[in-house]
Amino acid sequence: MGALTSTELNYIVFRYLQESGFVHAAFTLGYEAGIHKGGIDGNAVPPGALITIVQKGLQYIELEANTDDNDEEVERDFALLDPIEIITKDVEELQQIVKKRKRERSQTDREKDRGKEKERNDEHERRPGGERERDRHDKDKEQVREKEKSEKDREHDKEKEKDKDKEKEKEKEKEKHHTERTDKVKHEEDSLAGGGPTPMDISMIAQEISSTDVTVLEGHSSEVFACAWSPTGSLLASGSGDSTARIWTIPDGPCGSSTQSSPPGVHVLKHFKGRTNEKSKDVTTLDWNGEGTLLATGSYDGQARIWSRDGELKQTLFKHKGPIFSLKWNKKGDFLLSGSVDKTAIVWDTKTWECKQQFEFHSAPTLDVDWRNNNSFATCSTDNMIYVCKIGEQRPVKAFSGHQSEVNAIKWDPTGSFLASCSDDWTAKTG
């Protein structure tokens, strides 16, 4: 077994804090330990992992304390230990405690056995000889009755097994008949259709894309968290842990093997100046407006920034008190929506760049937001909840509580009639 790394341990403790509702402690640990940069797949870590590991560790030490030096198997004579004893004492001290308890228990058991044996003997001696003889006779008769009853039960069980076998044979015949009919119908349908493949046939052969058909955009010096195509023109925006966003101009024509790493063709959007802590400036989300003229970026410092398509900083939005994980423009372009770890979502008026309304419904970090129409939207959170909100309303229009774990992403269908969501509970839902 490999050793547990500090990164893995930090993540397990981080998950424990989240699952226990210690949101602020989890956020602080996640920020200082760089949990999101550890590369650990959260879906592979089961709920309650820390408790399970600690419990198994305690059980291992308990087994070690109960193991004899002569390597004999321990079956019945097993002494349980309290968790506080296991934590505060070493193995040798625990072994002494186990031996002491085994001796005490063995002595107690012997005394109980002697007491019971004495009571039986005394009772037997007090009874007359005739009664003792009748008892033996009654006992023999009882044994005969038990034997006859066991034989009848066995016969009854055999009959039941025969009936079950008959039922299974009938089910097999029905299934065989159904399969034959299904195959016949399918054969007739194939014959009518000319026997060719149906429109839904999917090739299982993976198609490899040659490296010569790929354009590599190099320039970021850390993880790239987000990317978004401009709705107009051949521009691609990317956000990274290196505290920058970049706007790439993608050449016309087919992709090629040439790399694109420096101007012209790239605008670097720096989110810090001088010696500012770069870690707090990770660009976590970005989104273009409908006209493709403005790019909004959200970063770990809780600020949203508005940039022109040429990389010029137009506006900085201050209101959130935690990292921004999601940004979305509405279709009309008059409002910008942001969701943050501070448990809130904010609608910004893009004419004045003032906070139009702040929505404080969640009890844990807001992970994603999505517009339903120009005035209504949905938010999701690590509190397992989804809220549908409307500008001007002080309470949610609707609340969804069907997920059993944190909800990672949400998306309305084009008509705004159905909302899809996906969660750490291994499910996606629509409603």
What pLDDT sits at residue 96?
A: 80
DSSP letters spanning 13-46? HHHHHHHTT-HHHHHHHHHHHTGGGS---GGGS-
CA distance 331 to 372: 10
Place of tokens 């409603």: 431
Mean pLDDT score, 2-26: 86
Place of tokens 């016309």: 252
Instruction: Find the range with the poorest average confidence among 140-144, 257-261, 271-275, 337-341.
Output: 257-261
Phi and psi (nearest 5°) for 288? -85, 150
Please determine whether the domains at 6-102 and 213-430 fall in the same fold group of CATH.
no
Instruction: Find the range with the poorest average confidence among 31-35, 265-269, 285-289.
Output: 31-35
Chain segment 172-223, per-residue pLDDT in tens: 776 666 566 555 545 555 554 554 445 555 666 778 888 777 888 889 998 9
For β-strands 266-270 and 283-288, DSSP reports them as unpaired
Helical packing angle, 49-66 and 6-19, nearest 10°: 110
Single-letter amino acid, residue 68: D
Instruction: Sketch the domain layout of the chain as residue ranges.
Output: 6-102, 213-430
User: Is the predicted pLDDT of residue 262 greater than 50, yes or no?
Assistant: no
For the CA atoms of 265, 270, 271, 274, the dihedral, rounded to the nearest 10 degrees, stands at 180
Phi and psi (nearest 5°) for 345? -125, 145
CA distance 242 to 140: 89
Place of tokens 């004579």: 77
- Topology at the third CATH level for domain 6-102: Mitochondrial Import Receptor Subunit Tom20; Chain A (1.20.960)
Instruction: Find the range with the poorest average confidence among 7-11, 86-90, 128-132.
Output: 128-132
Closest CA to 398 of 414, 410, 382: 410
Closest CA to 288 of 380, 199, 350, 346: 350
Is there a contact between 285 and 325 (Cβ–Cβ < 8 Å)? yes
Is there a contact between 420 and 385 (Cβ–Cβ < 8 Å)? no
Per the prediction, the chain carries an average pLDDT of 81
Mean pLDDT score, 99-103: 77
Q: Nearest-5° angle of CA 421, CA 340, CA 235?
A: 75
CA distance 359 to 382: 16
Chain segment 271-290, per-residue pLDDT in tens: 887 555 555 678 999 999 99
CA distance 170 to 405: 45
- Return the CATH number of the domain spanning residue range 213-430: 2.130.10.10
Q: Nearest-5° angle of CA 379, CA 384, CA 388?
A: 30
pTM: 0.53
User: Is the predicted pLDDT of residue 404 greater than 60, yes or no?
Assistant: yes
CA distance 235 to 196: 43
Mean pLDDT score, 117-124: 68
Beta bridge partners of 328: 337
Instruction: Find the range with the poorest average confidence among 29-43, 262-276, 311-325.
Output: 262-276
Place of tokens 């038990």: 146
Comparison of pLDDT for 88 and 194, the residue scoring more: 88
What pLDDT sits at residue 74?
A: 53
pLDDT-derived band at 251, boundaries 50, 70, 90: confident
**Percent with pLDDT over 90 in the chain:** 40
Element (H, E) at 217: strand 216-217
Q: Nearest-5° angle of CA 12, CA 241, CA 335?
A: 105
Closest CA to 381 of 398, 403, 350: 403
Sign of the dihedral through C-alpha 222, 228, 230, 233:
positive
What pLDDT sits at residue 133?
A: 56
Instruction: Find the range with the poorest average confidence among 63-67, 76-80, 421-425.
Output: 76-80
pLDDT-derived band at 68, boundaries 50, 70, 90: low
What pLDDT sits at residue 263?
A: 41
DSSP state letter for 114:
H
What pLDDT sits at residue 264?
A: 45
What pLDDT sits at residue 141?
A: 64
Is there a contact between 226 and 283 (Cβ–Cβ < 8 Å)? yes
What pLDDT sits at residue 347?
A: 97
